[in-house]
Amino acid sequence: MDYPDFGHPVALDVETGNADFGIVICGSGNGINMTVNKHQGIRSALCWTKEIAALARQHNDANIISIPARFTSIQQAVEMVDTFLNTNFEGGRHANRVNKIACQ
């Protein structure tokens, strides 16, 4: 399968506000992460642990999590997604940085 065929619809749903968050998966997590990050307003984070998933939300206001399927067990993936969906953006000093990410 071609991961962009699945990544673009997820990114569009988040980009247009049809979804608050997205979850994408491919072998390494890299290709699909690159694909969704081409969309305006998308901040996808390639996550390998639940700690990285938490930091992606807290510090980067990530709205899509990318999971490397070849290197992640189902239990790890579930823990990362649960952490990602239940962690809030901290704002503050991180907000200024996040506002500088998008190309205008």
Asked if 8 is an active-site residue, the reply is no
Catalytic residue among 8, 59, 94, 103: 59
Asked if 47 is an active-site residue, the reply is no
Catalytic residue among 8, 26, 47, 103: 26
Show the DSSP H helices in the chain as ranges.
4-15, 30-36, 50-60, 74-85, 93-99
SS3 content of the chain, % helix, strand, coil (to 5): 50, 10, 40
Catalytic residues: 26, 59
